[in-house]
Chains A and B, each alone.
Chain A
């Protein structure tokens, strides 16, 4: 005992720097890092030297060259005569983002509905949800994409005819020809009104919540919010002298023309991705809800909450903490699966950039590196966002 106290008082024995385990560990790590960096460097040098020796062009100069091919769906301006391969990359990336983002939203909503329905005391509903999950989870995604694109969409009228959807435009095998909003003078006002409405709704929700925490009194938020979001722009629209018109598709020599096009390739891919991923999300949601102690439900019933309120206010917030991490990986899957687009001619990143552009330039190494880094960055971004959301959802102890 005495010896022990004594040792603690004494200054640490002097050891050679090299023998200090901490410093030693650092040195090893540093050496490893240098060796790794050197290997990568030599690998890259060797690769470019070999490409040159095999007479295969290399470098990133092609990004500034004219692409010269057409792309059907583009969110940004794309001119086949003058746009570059760099532009092709952007167009493809945006198309990937579009189908992934919309797909994630639909898959989440549908997944929650099906997951909750699966636990419903209503036998038919629960069976239907189970059947949905079991079928869609177990059919390969590519097959589902083909079914949507080649079978379901084929039920629509042919190119020269169209189903008239009234004020929603027209639809046929070539997609949905939606009305295109044409903004007149003063229409900026509507945008501002919408922005103000959104800010007001957020402020209202926060204020209502703080009030509830302070006084326990609940204020209705939903209806005033809807009123603001719809009403304010409407007032602005009327005030500005109704500057918004819609351009409707008209009959061209090959079927409808004009309006906003929603391509069938997009619809087919979107439906396949969302319905497939929703089946997995439904199972995650079910597991998350089941993981919340049954006592929570009983306690909230005892407090007089109705089943809907119990689900919304007690169960789901707790379940979310279990749901979010596996949900993240479903979002990542959906985004990566969107690269099956090329099978049905949807111009996503893999199709137009790692496909057509690669073939026209032959610069496989550069293009595939860029494409993979992009997918990596996308995945990391989604994960980072979901981690942030997860942290936000964690139990706040008061």
Chain B
């Protein structure tokens, strides 16, 4: 009930003050001196706090990148952990300036919740995890299984569609908090754990014996994950888009955290425009001209962020796959800065 009241108050605030919320978010952020960034309650590789409360992950890097672009200081972020259920109300009510929390871009969310999705910072799809000793190698063998998942996610609808389309029945056990899903699956209440495949790799690390579990090959949905902001503030939306695009362009042009200072002397016009040594692109989105250079020197390019948080060298060990740059056969593609 306490939670319900929180959400109701949140939505009442949205309802009463909606017009105020659509004011220029960038100005509010600058005035406040920190960026309020909605993240998960703990998803390794995407947004996860360590023992000292320092957040890291791909989604956290996006928050840091925005803070770097605005303040030249990636630490000026206030992280607001949100459950899947709370996240949209928190954004609508202005509790956060931006939601960077493995959130799937869907039409209804984009059009009915008063939100705008900016970009896709991770192309994902829903998968299944099972115990190895069940000797299951395809999701089509799951008829009659008990399936654990999170409430308030796209996951619940996808799994319903998938089982129905394949004429299989199942028992849904849906928890609010991700940690409870993990605990219930770990204890054997369910045969299957389903969520975004990246989430499966991340949550697997929390199980008692991660090696006893495997992710099935099937991907049953499209889950384009990306940051979202409130509707009605085009400038702020543009900041989101171009921060992500700058990180992609940097990777494409070979600009890294280490060489960004050197690269400022480059003759390559693309790099010059990216790093603000030519043209006036920053002021057009309300930022300084070296906005992108700040992002790269503090956070690195997209490839670096990916490798550091979820890549093959990390415990999650996810390969770039469709998240590779378009030049390497992937889907990540930035429009030109010009």
Which residues of A pack against B, CB within 8 Å?
Answer: 43, 46-48, 50-51, 53-57, 68-72, 80-81, 150, 154, 158-159, 173-174, 252-254, 257, 264-265, 336, 339, 342-345, 347, 350-351, 354-356, 358-362, 364-365, 368-369, 371-372, 375
Which of B11, B12, B232 is packed against the most chain A CB atoms within 10 Å? B11
Chain A contacts for B16, CB-based, 8 A? 43, 46-47, 50
Task: Evaluate contact between B175 and A343: CB separation under 8 angstroms.
Answer: yes
B11–A364 CB distance below 8 A? yes
How many A-B contacts if CB must be within 8 Å? 160
Q: How far is the CB of B141 from chain A (nearest CB, A)?
A: 8
Instruction: Say yes or no for B160: interface residue by CB 8 A criterion.
Output: yes
Taking a contact as CB atoms under 8 Å apart, the answer to whether B14 and A56 are in contact is yes
Q: Which of A51, A71, A253, A371 contacts B15 (CB 8 A)?
A: A51
Complex Cα distance, B1 from A350, in Å, reads 8
Contact in complex: A70, B160 (CB < 8 Å): yes
Report the bound CA distance from A254 to B136 in whole Å: 11
A338 to chain B: closest residue by CB: B1
Residues of B within 8 A of A342 (CB): 151, 175-176
Chain A residue contacts of B160, Cβ below 8 A: 68-70, 80
The answer to whether A368 touches B15 (Cβ under 8 A) is no
Q: B322: CB under 8 A from chain A? A: no
How far apart sit A190 and B309, CA to CA, in the bound complex (Å)?
66
Stretch at the interface among B24-32, B56-64, B183-191: B183-191
B11 closest partner in A (C-beta): A364
Q: Name the CB-closest residue of A to B149.
A: A345
- The stretch among B84-92, B119-127, B204-212 that forms the contact with chain A is B84-92
C-alpha gap A360/B88 in the complex (Å): 11
13 other contacts beyond A55-B114, A150-B187, A174-B189, with CB at 8 A cut-off? Answer: A46-B15, A51-B15, A53-B19, A55-B112, A55-B232, A56-B114, A69-B156, A71-B172, A173-B187, A343-B177, A359-B84, A362-B109, A365-B12
Select the residue from B16, B85, B143, B153 with max chain A CB neighbours within 10 A.
B85
- CB of B170 within 8 Å of the partner chain: yes
B103 to chain A, nearest CB (A): 11
Supposing A69-B156, A342-B175, A345-B174 touch, asked if A53 and B144 sit within 8 A by C-beta, the answer is no
Residues of A within 8 A of B88 (CB): 359, 362
CB <8 Å contact, B92 and A56: yes
Interface of A is mostly: helix
Check B151 against A351 for contact (C-beta < 8 Å).
yes
Question: Which are the 7 A-B pairs with shortest beta-carbon distances?
Answer: A359-B152, A364-B11, A54-B18, A50-B18, A47-B15, A70-B172, A56-B114
Contact B7 A154 (CB under 8 A): no
How many whole Å from B182's CB to the nearest CB in chain A? 11
Using Cβ atoms and an 8 Å threshold, which residues of chain B touch A252?
A: 144
Write out the residue numbers on chain A whose beta carbons fall within 8 Å of the beta carbon of B144: 252-254, 257
Task: Compute how far the CA of A81 lies from the CA of B169 in the bound complex, rounded to whole angstroms.
Answer: 12
Q: Is the CB of B4 within 8 A of A356?
A: no
A362 touches B156 (CB 8 A): no
Cβ–Cβ contact B112 & A56, under 8 A: yes
B287 on the A face (CB < 8 A):
no
Within 8 Å of chain A (Cβ to Cβ): is B231? yes
Q: Which residues of A contact B177 (CB under 8 A)?
A: 343
| CB<8 Å pairs between A and B, sample of 20 | A47-B12, A56-B113, A80-B160, A159-B191, A174-B146, A254-B145, A254-B191, A257-B144, A336-B1, A342-B176, A344-B180, A345-B148, A345-B180, A345-B184, A356-B151, A356-B174, A359-B85, A359-B153, A364-B89, A365-B8
